[in-house]
Amino acid sequence: MENLKDQAFSLLKNNIKKGYSKNFKRDFFYLSPDSVHFHQWFWDSCFHIIVMSKLDPEIAKKEFETLISVQQKDGFIPHIIFWKWRLRDRFQKWWQKEVNSKKTNLFTAEIQPPVIGLSLLEIYKATGDLEFVKRNIEKVEQYYLYLKEKRDPDYDGLISIITPMESGMDLCSHYDIPFGNEKHDPLETKKHITEILTRYKEWGWDLDTIFESSLFDVEDISFNTIYCLGLYALAELYGELDKNKQKEIKKWADSVKKSMVEKCWFDDEQIYFGLFHREGSEIPMKVKTISSLFPLTLPVPESHIKALTGHLQSEKEFWSSYPITSVSMDEPSFGPLTDTRLIWRGTTWINTNWFLANGLEKQGYTALAKKIARKTIELIIKSGFHEYYDPFDGHPGKAMRNFGWSTLAIDFIDLLNRN
């Protein structure tokens, strides 16, 4: 299995992009997700940093500082950053972002799951470089403050996303609900996404207008779990620098977790569901997807952990031959799988396995965490590092090849070696 680390390192090095950007008038260094997704993508970049912290921390630091260098005055860090143009890039439609009353096509207007706090913590764990932390921690905190101040329109502590892509799980079938897609046709949801992007562009991506419209105002479970995990990571880092600040950030994280438990846990189904806002009402998106399992990674009530692990291990729900499926197998919306690019409707993904296995280990469910780790490594050995996989035969189908974030699987080698 150690050979997997060499393979992962080689893959990631081959995806390095570096040079001088005429767009930003500065040098850049980052790892693209693969050969097709050429640009710097926020949560992909955060995952690359986590893996490279263990393989080559200096590369991890360079990528981190490239990512954080485009942060705006209000704390915003974009979904995609276009350090260099390619001819094909000029045909994309949704890039314009309003910055200081001027439109820019240097990056997108969307956000992605806020993994960056975990990334900074992993750099520190690998290197002990407190100076690097000092140089960057306030910028990371400013990003989380941006989310708190700009993306919580109902002030309940939970962050709202305004497109499915902001969750990172683009067409996952719980997003069919706010679009009124009762037949769970992925093409129908894709059409609605195009429609809201068109409207947002017309509105200059003004958040007040967007939230007032309620076209897509979703408190997503996986996004808010990652937000909470990032805050806990930030609190841990401040423990090395400022104990008062550590307490403040931990209290903030605890309040996010508390709000999720109170609002998003449903006793009847014994699972978490995200909510969408429409005409003053909060409506649960009652489709069991991998997002519903994410609170396994947080200090939620033990009864919730037991119920969620039951769902996870059920062969009728999430435990396939190559777990963990992104949609429960007993949901009508399960599928299509790898013969299409209509993604996140049942396929298995390494990054979500990584979150859940590591969370379960911290919760004391070590045997289950190792079970996921073994099945994930088996999947990588069988099919390689790809974007996603068929949950039954492990084949990647139309997934992108040599996909960077799937190198997170090497973390499972160490997990399996721990007592």
What is the predicted pLDDT for the residue at 102?
44
pLDDT at 114 over 70: yes
C-beta neighbour count of 290 within 10 angstroms? 27
Structure confidence by residue, pLDDT tens digits, 332-363 = 999 999 999 999 999 999 999 999 999 999 99
Residues 6+ apart with CB under 8 A from 267: none
pLDDT confidence tier of residue 398, bands split at 50, 70 and 90: very high
Phi first, then psi: give them for residue 99, nearest 5 degrees: -130, 115
pLDDT at 101 over 50: no
Structure confidence by residue, pLDDT tens digits, 172-205 = 999 999 999 999 999 999 999 999 999 998 998 9
pLDDT at 35 over 70: yes
The token pair that represents 334 in the structure block: 């399960």
Taken as a whole, the chain contains a residue count of 419
pLDDT at 96 over 70: no
Rounded CA gap, 303 and 308, in Å?
9
pLDDT at 14 over 90: yes
Mean pLDDT across the stretch 129-139? 98
What is the predicted pLDDT for the residue at 106?
86
What is the predicted pLDDT for the residue at 164?
97
Mean pLDDT across the stretch 102-114? 82
Of 107 and 319, more confident: 319
pLDDT confidence tier of residue 279, bands split at 50, 70 and 90: confident
Strand partners, 107: 81
Structure confidence by residue, pLDDT tens digits, 311-331 = 999 999 999 999 999 999 999
Q: Is the dihedral of CA 323, 325, 330, 336 positive or negative?
A: negative
Identify the helix (H) or strand (E) that includes residue 281. Answer: strand 281-284
pLDDT confidence tier of residue 291, bands split at 50, 70 and 90: very high
pLDDT at 100 over 60: no
Mean pLDDT across the stretch 110-125? 98
pLDDT at 95 over 80: no
Average pLDDT, the chain: 95
Mean pLDDT across the stretch 260-271? 98
What is the predicted pLDDT for the residue at 97?
53
